[in-house]
Amino acid sequence: MFSKVALEREAGQRLRRLSDATRDRFGQWRRPTRERMRALTVDTRGRVQWRDAPAPPLPGPDGAIVHPIAVATCDLDRMLLLGRTPFPLPLHFGHECVAEVLSVGEHVVQVRPGDHVVVPFQISCGTCAPCRAGHTGNCATVPPVSMFGFGVGGGHWGGAVSDQLAVPYADAMLVPLPSGVDPAAAASVADNVSDGYRHIAPYTNLLEEGDGEILILAGMSRRQAFSASVPLYAGLVARALGARQVHFFDSREHVRWHAERLGLVAHTPSEIRHMPTLPLVVDATASPSGIRTALEHTAPDGVCSSLGMLHRIAPIPAGLMFGRNVTLHVGRSHARALIPHVLELVGSGRLHPELVTTDLAPLDDAPRAITEHMRGDATKTILVEGA
């Protein structure tokens, strides 16, 4: 089903990018003067290693070349490396980063070489109708689900764990990093922090209706492969925006311990039966049973905001939702539209994404750090230049 969405429009552009990427990989002899760089590659067996790759050319007068200086793992990455997603391997890894601008096209006016910027993980032009409406995750200028770090499934835009990354629409995409904000703290704003934010910020009116309490369901199954940074970020955002109490459910002891350290009230999944319904429920379970549980605990006229999942279908209690007048929102984030609001919270000192980080490692040591992240129980690994 995901591949069907990816080919709904602009299929020719997607195929041309695939052809160019294949030519770069297997026909380097045709471009003897092309600059080379390192790119972290995940092969078909999930092995992570540095590979020599062609450096990207400046992508036209509206584009920029950036050098990632802080790169974050995503909650999906463990599943990605295990080959358990719709995104086939091999691929160039990484899609959450803060970067330094190296060069810009002649039409670019908002950023200059030397600037530190947050690079949204989704490609967006900023001028089409969806982008103007703030729906930057559905930019109509590029093929659907165009993203850094997802290989052929994301459209072959390159990976953030590399010496250079080409950004096709610099003025539209790149967001300057506020003064005083650590690049390592903001690396995940490119995706996961903003993803957590979008489940809370549009529904702050529901905090009053629920006496300041909200419910976040994270890992509800015994074998949860997804990391838990998005629900933890959502909890931090909720506290920053006025939530009195955030009930956080997860089956993993280390995640519950982390949630308690962040000031959330951690519960085991079995305790959900004792919880009342609440006006705002966040479903971060990525499972059919989890979304059903989340909906069952959403109060009348309440909202269940779901990260979604990779399953083809998920039964929902439609009759219960109708009777309670419950709203369910499922979908991907529009990261570029959200990033300025998230950075404002971070810059003001109200939101501290670094509190979710569990591991810091040098970018040069990326193969070891990412392999350990995949095999261990780290929630958020940040790769930092010069660390």
Per-residue pLDDT tens digits of the chain, which is 387 residues long: 555 655 566 566 655 665 566 555 544 444 555 799 999 999 999 999 999 999 999 999 999 999 999 999 999 999 999 888 999 999 999 999 999 999 999 999 999 999 999 999 999 999 999 999 999 999 999 999 999 999 999 999 999 999 999 999 999 999 999 999 999 999 999 999 999 999 999 999 998 888 999 999 999 987 788 999 999 999 999 999 999 999 999 999 999 999 999 999 999 999 999 999 999 999 999 999 999 999 999 999 999 999 999 888 999 999 999 999 999 999 999 999 999 999 999 999 999 999 999 999 999 999 999 999 999 999 999 999 986
pLDDT at position 223 is 79
Q: So what's the pLDDT on residue 6?
A: 59
The reported pLDDT for the residue numbered 8 is: 61
Domains, the chain, in order of start with CATH, read 2-190+353-384 (3.90.180.10), 195-330 (3.40.50.720)
- The confidence score (pLDDT) of residue 209 equals 86
Q: How far apart are CA 52 and CA 38, in angstroms?
A: 5
Question: pTM for the complete prediction?
Answer: 0.93
